[in-house]
Amino acid sequence: MTGEKKPEWADPNHPENFSSIVRKGVENPSSDVFEKKQVRFKKKGSNVPNIDELYNGILAGERLHLARAITLIESNAEHHFRKAQELLQRLLPHTGKALRIGITGVPGAGKSTFIEAFGSFLTNQGLKVAVLAVDPSSNISGGSILGDKTRMEQLSRNPKAFIRPSPSSGKLGGVHRKTRETMLICEAAGFDVILVETVGVGQSEVIVREMVDFFMLLVLTGAGDELQGMKKGIMELADGVIVNKADGENKRNAEKTKREYNQVLHFLQPATKGWATKALTCSALLNEGIENVWTTVKTFENTTMESGVFEDRRRTQTKEWMRSMIIDQLQADFFYHPIVKELLPRFENEVISGSKTVTSAVESLFQNYFKSKQ
Ligand code: GDP
């Protein structure tokens, strides 16, 4: 963000070790701004916003309320979690109308440039676009691959667009729950297209695939090498493979890569029943081929809606979501339980030293856990 810097006492050689930032202040805040700030969500003695106010604000498409509701969803505090669930329950009838699109690709494939171009194209068509992110790195390192650089500057200033960085996980369900619920809130706020971005590493593609209608993989030229091994699994999740950076000297190469992908895709299991996954080219930088991507997504939507696959997938996704939440909650309940916290390290040591078998340790843990619940 412009106007942000590290405080002067941070080590200038390693500013990344210091997480605080200093923001540039407002030089002459008008009394109007000041007053508005003070009155919003004012509720003495409580930092939980008023649910009625959020509900009405979100349905009216108010950004501030939307952002506030998402913060509530992302909070790891139990009372925020309950409030967020109450809000979601009320908003549920207003959800489900957006087209949900997942976008993945290795770092450098051009995801943010593409989202900037694609998002701007969509807003020019009069559509409202929300961009969410699932960043696997934020769980592991506390840092983030997606969030740290200045990204999508144009789109972030666009009044028809809303960009939200990746939430971090926590004990009340991980990134999966938070992103799905954020998506629902954005739908209630009237967004027509939800773009869910993720980095092409590890599990996060599968998580995103499970929450979107159309999943696209952004790739670079040189498919030959990649197709040897790594991409096959991801390609079987994709409804569209977009060869980006098809410009300048790279254009011919990109066309060749597209043909190679199309040949390979032909032999793979399609991600969506009744839809042959296609490879396309585009230049996110020069805004070329972007409309073609949208046409493909719309054709996909029409085809799968007609066949019933679209609704089928959404139903399955909701069921899967419920199951994964049950697993999340069971896990959290178990591992955060005081008796488990106390016994687990001891049992682990006993297992490692060979004085207890894994099976008997697990059995004994569960016995203690269930006994303490009675
Ligand atoms: P991300 O890490 O996947 O989000 O990739 P970025 O959007 O940050 O892009 C990585 C680099 O590739 C940047 O320097 C972009 O300017 C460049 N880039 C992205 N799209 C294109 C494109 O269509 N053509 C060319 N020539 N460069 C691009």
In DSSP notation, 232-283 reads HHHHTT-SEEEE----GGGHHHHHHHHHHHHHHHTTSPPSSTT---EEEE-B
Distance, CA of 20 to CA of 7 (rounded, Å): 7
> What is the layout of strands, in order, in the sheet containing 240-243?
161-164, 129-134, 193-199, 99-105, 214-219, 240-243, 278-281
Under the banding of pLDDT at 50, 70 and 90, the label for residue 175 is: confident
φ, ψ of residue 20 to 5 degrees: the values are -70, 145
Beta carbon of 105 within 6 Å of any ligand 1 atom: yes
Amino acid at 71: T
Distance, CA of 262 to CA of 279 (rounded, Å): 6
Residue that the structure tokens 């938070």 belong to: 178
Beta carbon of 288 within 6 Å of any ligand 1 atom: no
Distance, CA of 298 to CA of 304 (rounded, Å): 10
- Measured from the Cα of 244, ligand 1's closest atom is 23
What pLDDT score was predicted for residue 230?
Answer: 53
Q: Is the pLDDT of residue 44 over 50?
A: no
Instruction: Find how far residue 182's CA is from the centre of its chain.
Output: 9
What pLDDT score was predicted for residue 328?
Answer: 77
Ligand 1 centroid distance, CA of 243 (Å): 12
b (16+ CB within 10 A) / e for 350-364: ebeeeebeeeebeee
Supply the CATH classification number for the domain 95-163+189-311.
3.40.50.300
φ, ψ of residue 197 to 5 degrees: the values are -95, 140
pLDDT digits (tens, 9 = 90+) for 275-286: 999 999 999 999
Burial class (CB within 10 angstroms; exposed 0-12, middle 13-18, buried 19+) of 232: middle
Q: Is the pLDDT of residue 42 over 80?
A: no
- Token readout for 55 is 């509900």
119, 155 Cβ separation under 8 angstroms: yes
Residues 6 or more apart whose CB falls under 8 angstroms from that of 240 comprise 214, 215, 216, 217, 277, 278, 279, 280, 293, 296, 297, 300
User: What number is the average pLDDT over the span 170-197?
Assistant: 86
Amino acid at 179: T
292, 280 Cβ separation under 8 angstroms: yes
What pLDDT score was predicted for residue 115?
Answer: 95
Beta carbon of 200 within 6 Å of any ligand 1 atom: no
Distance, CA of 75 to CA of 69 (rounded, Å): 10
What pLDDT score was predicted for residue 86?
Answer: 92
224, 131 Cβ separation under 8 angstroms: no
pLDDT digits (tens, 9 = 90+) for 159-172: 999 998 877 665 55
pLDDT digits (tens, 9 = 90+) for 296-339: 999 999 999 999 999 999 999 999 888 888 887 888 789 889 99
**Which tops the pLDDT comparison, 238 or 22?**
238
Residue ID of nearest Cα to ligand 1 atom 12: 110
Q: How far apart are the first and last CA of the chain?
A: 52
Ligand 1 centroid distance, CA of 281 (Å): 14
What pLDDT score was predicted for residue 32?
Answer: 45
Distance, CA of 290 to CA of 242 (rounded, Å): 10
Amino acid at 90: R
What pLDDT score was predicted for residue 267?
Answer: 87
Q: Return the closest-CA partner of residue 346 out of 368, 319, 371.
A: 368
Calculate what percentage of the chain has a pLDDT beyond 70.
78
Ligand 1 centroid distance, CA of 166 (Å): 20
Least confident of 15-19, 229-233, 277-281, 289-293: 15-19
Q: Is the pLDDT of residue 206 over 80?
A: yes
3-state secondary structure 270-309: CCCCCCCCEEEECECCCCECHHHHHHHHHHHHHHHHHHCH
Q: Is the pLDDT of residue 53 over 80?
A: yes
Residue that the structure tokens 């952004």 belong to: 218
pLDDT digits (tens, 9 = 90+) for 62-106: 999 999 999 998 887 878 888 999 999 999 999 999 999 999 988
- Measured from the Cα of 218, ligand 1's closest atom is 3
In DSSP notation, 45-59 reads T--SPPHHHHHHHHH
Distance, CA of 160 to CA of 137 (rounded, Å): 29
User: What number is the average pLDDT over the span 54-60?
Assistant: 96
In DSSP notation, 161-222 reads EEEEPPPP--SSS-HHHHHHHHHHHHHHTT-SEEEEEEESSTTHHHHHHTT-SEEEEEE-S-
Ligand 1 centroid distance, CA of 165 (Å): 19
Under the banding of pLDDT at 50, 70 and 90, the label for residue 149 is: very low
Beta carbon of 221 within 6 Å of any ligand 1 atom: no
What pLDDT score was predicted for residue 117?
Answer: 96
Mutation probe of ligand 1 site: the residue of 103, 104, 112, 113 with most atoms within 8 A of C-beta: 113
Least confident of 14-23, 176-185, 274-283: 14-23
What pLDDT score was predicted for residue 203?
Answer: 75
Residues of the chain with CATH 3.40.50.300: 95-163+189-311
Ligand 1 centroid distance, CA of 134 (Å): 19
What pLDDT score was predicted for residue 223?
Answer: 54
